[in-house]
Structures are given as structure tokens and as C-alpha cells.
Amino acid sequence: NIWHHHHNGVKVRVAHYVFIQDYGFLKKIVFHLRNVSFQEPLWNQTLGHCAVVGNGGILNNSRCGQQIDKVDFVIRLNLPPLNNENDVGKKTSLVTANPTILRRSASGFSFLSYTRKSFAKMMEVYGQAVVLMPAFSYVSCTEPSFRAYFTLKDFNLQNVTFFHPEYLLRLNNYWKSKGLLAQRLSSGMMLVSIALELCSKVTLYGFWPFSSSLNGKPILHHYYDNVGPKQGVHKMSEEFLLYMQMHSKGLLQLKIGMCS
């Protein structure tokens, strides 16, 4: 299903790449879209030195926080906790929010139907960062993305921006042409790709898909928990190999281990 919206004379195409059978749900989406402000691209100039901060357990005891906070633009993934400032820093310019996290009742937000205040309180740590969400990637992503959008708008917090689904489709096809045959790209690969497009220099922190450090010491999957990715969806090791190849070519800097 494709929805066309005319805003100030500009036609914007929004598509779901998953078939929508529930017409009532589609009408609700169209109603919400009428209240969304369509803006020009967020950044029309190079962003300078960007840090893309993954959530790998390799960040624990890394002392990279100060180094991360010194760059021009800091990108973080999937609303990570920032209570370990010495290792992960605090500065956030852009953060992704995975709608599946918001949809889980265990997260405490329960689709943001009745817990808007607790969600807004949690989001205060990210300051005025842009929140980036894949609202139109799958039907299941749309409703929680809009709930997040209106909650943050009503509480005068961050601006929410949605991935254009065609951009994600083309990005997926690009990496497939390079041999990355994942069911779908990880959030990390998406944001590294964006950083390479927008930034003059890119440094990666916290990207380490292995269960032990360089010296063989066991580490958590994330710096804040030990919950691994869903099996068969992402190709984390293959993505990491691509990061290493880009590092060797000087396209980005892959930071592993402690920061000086």
C-alpha cells in the first residue's frame, strides 16, 4: 500500500513493504500522518567528526566516554542507558529507537498507551537529540513509532524523524550487492552507513560481536545486559568484517579496547 501526501506542493510517498489487510488500521495511519510535520532534510551540510556508538560489552572499562563526547556529532543505537558516562559518554546528537522495544509490555511502556510520563522521563537523558525510527519498515513498527512521536511532541522533548522506507530498501540492496546476505541490516550497520554519507570523519565505538575481549576475557553482549540478537535475522560477524575492511581502507576508524 502506498500513501501519497501533498504538503506545501511537495508530494511525499510513504510505503509499507508489508501488505496491510486491515483497512481501518490504514485509515488510522493516514489520520496520524495529517498531523505530522514534513520537513526538509535535517542536515544540508557535512556534520564533521561523528562517533557511532554501538552497545557492545567491549565498552565496559574502556574509558572512552570523554573521547566520544569530544566529537562533533554522536550517534547512539536503540535508546541505550547512559549511566556509565566514563565508558560510553553522555553526549547524544541522534539516537535510534527500535519500535519493537516500545511494543513489549516488559519494557514498561505498553505501546505508550498509559505510561507516557515514564517514557518521557526516560527520554530526558538524550537532551535535544534527534530520535530516528523506522516507522514504515513493517506494519508492526508504525503504531509504536507514532505513539513515540506524539508523546515526545506533547512533552516538548526530542524531534522524531522517520526513516524513508525506500532508503532502507536501497541500503539493504546495496549491502547485499557487497555480499552481506542478512535477513535485514542491524541498526548499527544502518547508522554506520548514514554516518559515512553525512560525516567527514567517522569513528566507531562499541562494535564487537564476540563473547570475549581481545585478551580472551568473557564480556557481556551489551555493556548494560547480556541479551543477544534474535538468531537468523542479522549477520553481526559479517558486518564487523566489513567495518574492519573499511577501517583498513581509511574510510572509518574502528576503536576497539581502551581509549587513552
Domain boundary assignment for the chain: 1-38, 48-255
Residue 1 has pLDDT above 50, yes or no: no
Query: Which segments within 33-191 are labelled E, that is strand?
Result: 49-53, 73-76, 94-96, 130-133, 160-162
pTM for this predicted structure = 0.83
Mean pLDDT confidence for 81-110: 81
How would DSSP label each residue in 42-56?
S-SS---EEEEE--B
Q: How confident is the model at residue 103 (pLDDT cuts 50, 70, 90)?
A: low
Q: Report the chain's mean pLDDT, rounded to a whole number.
A: 82
234 among known catalytic residues: yes
Give the span between the Cα atoms of 136 and 225, in whole angstroms. 28
48-255 is classed CATH 3.40.50.620: no
Pick the catalytic residue: 16, 221, 222, 234?
234
Q: How confident is the model at residue 11 (pLDDT cuts 50, 70, 90)?
A: very low
